[in-house]
DNA sequence: CAAAGCATGTAAGCAGTTACATGATTGT
DNA sequence: ACAATCATGTAACTGCTTACATGCTTTG
């Protein structure tokens, strides 16, 4: 799965410029690509070289020319072939899970702080997502099913963040319960290291 | 977040060889790194060059020498500094969501097939995860909290796949309900393309 | 006798990131 | 006056992937 297919997807909906594609990627909740220049303009160039899209250059007074890309039948064929191929498992890169794995090295207070700052980050992100959804940019809706799917995908993306938030809440509750039972500060050091050397 | 911190994490637990680290990454449910050679051996080399770890070469009869890496205080410092830094949002790369966004281009039958094959993939993966958890490889448990966290992380990872599976189930139900209402085959073509050119 | 495990490493390459480069127009 | 939007592109870099390269030992 690369941005190539996602770009072909957008172009199957309507002709767009690189700039417009970039915006769609950075506005979307559910496409994980940042929509940076190199990625979009570069892929568009490759797509054109390979005959998957055509370009129409529309000169503008005072602003750089717009290059409007249109999908070709060959491009549409590639998109359909991809859609019919075997899907892949989702890949989740969780910085937080990686940290949590070693959070035993932290004291109670530092651990709580870690949970809190992640909860805060998630809350902010969830809020932002909600606002973006309310504003609601233009989406493909060539059929009932398509419109429904775009809605479903966005809801599902949000649901994932909410599940993550709920999990952090549970961890916080557990931490609270645990330290109420044994409130002393305890920092665990690796057994194979001398204690007392590095003290942050 | 890079594999560097995860390696330091494992080494904070106990000295390990590159080979052992590789296995831990490919066995883990919740670390997203594949644990390929270049990544692990390369990072270890860099870590050593920078003084974050030390090496002890243990010659073996008939097998290549084992290089056992031990974390230094500087390495432990780097790990703690990272743990105290701001966490990042999880990044989800969902091939399936990207496909779903353009599934309006598919006919009912192809769409159902797509849902089914993803459901199958998830089922297989969930089963495999369950077995891996039952087998249960050796995990850090220097404190109650650490042991509990490793358990919590693995459960949470599995929960995510299960939520994904439930979602696909819902989409399938919706699709069934929809096509019962209007069972005709309908393929939607991009408005800006002539209909009838490319027919897969 | 083949496959899996032990054990190290290198080469080539893809996908994606940040930052650089330019410059007019519109809104606060 | 400053920031955002419109609009294109390039350079340098990071992180990660697959495949290559070697070769012995244990298990099925």
pLDDT at position A60 = 86
> Is A90 within 8 Å of B90 when comparing Cβ atoms?
no
CA distance B13 to chain A (A): 6
Tell me, in Å, how far CA of B43 is from C1' of C19? 25
pLDDT at position A200 = 44
B129 interfaces chain A, CB cutoff of 8 Å: no
- pLDDT digit string, tens, across residues A148-189: 999 999 999 999 999 999 999 999 999 998 777 665 555 566
Residues 143-172 of B with CB under 8 A from A: 143-146, 148-150, 152-153, 156-157, 159-160, 163-164, 167, 171
A187 interfaces chain B, CB cutoff of 8 Å: no
pLDDT at position A197 = 47
Residue nearest to nucleotide C18 (CA to C1'): A36
B179 interfaces chain A, CB cutoff of 8 Å: no
- Strand D nucleotides in reach of protein CB atoms, 7 A cut-off: 6-12, 14-21, 23-25
- Strand C nucleotides in reach of protein CB atoms, 7 A cut-off: 6-12, 14-21, 23-25
B196 interfaces chain A, CB cutoff of 8 Å: no
Low-confidence ranges of chain B (pLDDT < 70): 1, 180-189, 191, 194-200
pLDDT at position A179 = 72
**What residues does B70 pair with on adjacent strands?**
B54
The minimal CB distance from B104 to the residues A70, A111, A146 is found for: A146
Question: pTM of the predicted model, to two decimals?
Answer: 0.90
State the helix-helix crossing angle for B37-49 and B3-13, rounded to 10 degrees. Answer: 70
CA-nearest residue to A97 within chain B is B153
Tell me, in Å, how far CA of B186 is from C1' of D7? 38
pLDDT at position B62 = 79
> Is B121 within 8 Å of A191 when comparing Cβ atoms?
no
- pLDDT digit string, tens, across residues A63-101: 889 999 999 999 999 999 999 999 999 999 999 999 999
Closest C1' nucleotide to A42's CA: D9
Give the mean pLDDT of chain A: 90
Give the mean model confidence (pLDDT) for residues A34-48. Answer: 94
Cα separations (Å) of A193 from A106, B70, B74, B150, B169? 16, 9, 12, 22, 50
Spatial contact of A190 and B14, defined as CB atoms under 8 Å apart: yes
pLDDT at position B195 = 57
Spatial contact of A165 and A119, defined as CB atoms under 8 Å apart: yes
CA-nearest residue to B110 within chain A is A84
- pLDDT digit string, tens, across residues B107-145: 999 999 999 999 999 999 999 999 888 887 788 988 889
pLDDT at position B183 = 54
Tell me, in Å, how far CA of B2 is from C1' of D14? 10
Q: What is the DSSP string of chain B?
A: --HHHHHHHHHHHS-EEHHHHHHHHHH-SS------HHHHHHHHHHHHHTTSEEEEEE--SSSPPEEEEEE-HHHHHHHHHHHHSPP---EEE-HHHHHHTTGGGS-HHHHHHHHHHHHHHHHHHHHHHHHHHHH------SSHHHHHHHHHHHHHHHHHHHHHHHHHHHHHHHHHHHHHHS-S------TTS-TTS---
pLDDT at position B187 = 60
The minimal CB distance from B114 to the residues A87, A92, A144 is found for: A87
pLDDT of residue A23 exceeding 80, the answer is yes
């Amino acid at each position: 799965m690369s941005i190539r297919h996602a770009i072909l997807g957008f172009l199957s909906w309507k002709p767009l410029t690189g700039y417009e594609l970039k915006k769609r990627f950075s506005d979307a909740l559910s496409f994980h690509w940042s929509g940076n220049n190199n990625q979009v303009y570069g892929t568009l160039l490759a797509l054109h070289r390979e005959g998957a899209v055509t370009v129409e250059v529309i000169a503008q007074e005072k602003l750089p020319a717009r290059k409007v890309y249109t999908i070709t039948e060959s491009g549409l064929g590639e998109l359909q072939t991809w859609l019919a191929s075997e899907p892949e498992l989702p890949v989740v890169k969780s910085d937080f899970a990686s940290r949590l794995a070693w959070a035993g090295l932290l004291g109670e207070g530092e651990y709580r702080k870690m949970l809190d700052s992640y909860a805060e980050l998630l809350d902010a992100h969830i809020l932002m997502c909600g606002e973006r959804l309310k504003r609601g940019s233009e989406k493909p809706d060539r059929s009932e099913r398509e419109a429904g799917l775009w809605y479903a995908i966005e809801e599902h993306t949000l649901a994932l963040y909410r599940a993550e938030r709920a999990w952090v809440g549970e961890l916080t509750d557990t931490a609270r319960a645990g330290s109420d039972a044994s409130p002393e500060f305890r920092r665990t050091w690796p057994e194979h290291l001398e204690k007392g050397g590095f003290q942050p």
